[in-house]
A = this chain, B = another copy of it.
Amino acid sequence: MNTIEVFLESKKVRPTAMRMLVYKYMTQSNVAKTLGDIENAFTKADRTTLYRTLKTFEEKGIVHQVDDGTGTIKYALCEAGCNCDIDRDLHLHFHCSNCRETICLTEHKIPQINLPDGYVAEDMNLVVKGICEHCSGQ
């Protein structure tokens, strides 16, 4: 029983070999990954299985989708204690137009937005595009 196995079971996800590999892969970098990225990271991986793995992870609160405006959905690990709650957990995402990577800025929560009367907010997405720390040569 390694820690990944324990973690997945704590999230009510059966720790199959592929699921453990995907989870481990996601922990190894802090940038959001597309399905294609993950597929390419393994030589022998079926796209559908990965698709459903990510879907399961999302349903069980292990990952969240990141829509960075590139047209392909990305996935990133949720923080410990995250419930993808609109007030507590939603954070800024940054997409670098140079290296094309997207990272979670989990420390930067989405500021309070006031809406016109009658509008009810349920979810939110804030993406900033530009040049990342790495590419701006800092």
Contacts and interface: CB of A to CB of B under 8 A. Distances in A.
Interface residues of A, number: 34
Contact of A133 (B92, B118, B126, B136): B118
Given A67-B69, A105-B115, A108-B115, A130 B121 contact: yes
A107 B119 CA distance: 14
A120 interface: yes
Contacts of A81: none
Contacts of A108: 113-116
Contacts of A117: 133, 138
A129 interface: yes
A108 B126 CA distance: 14
B105 A118 contact: no
B120 A131 contact: yes
Interface string A94-138: 100100000001011011011111111111111111111110101
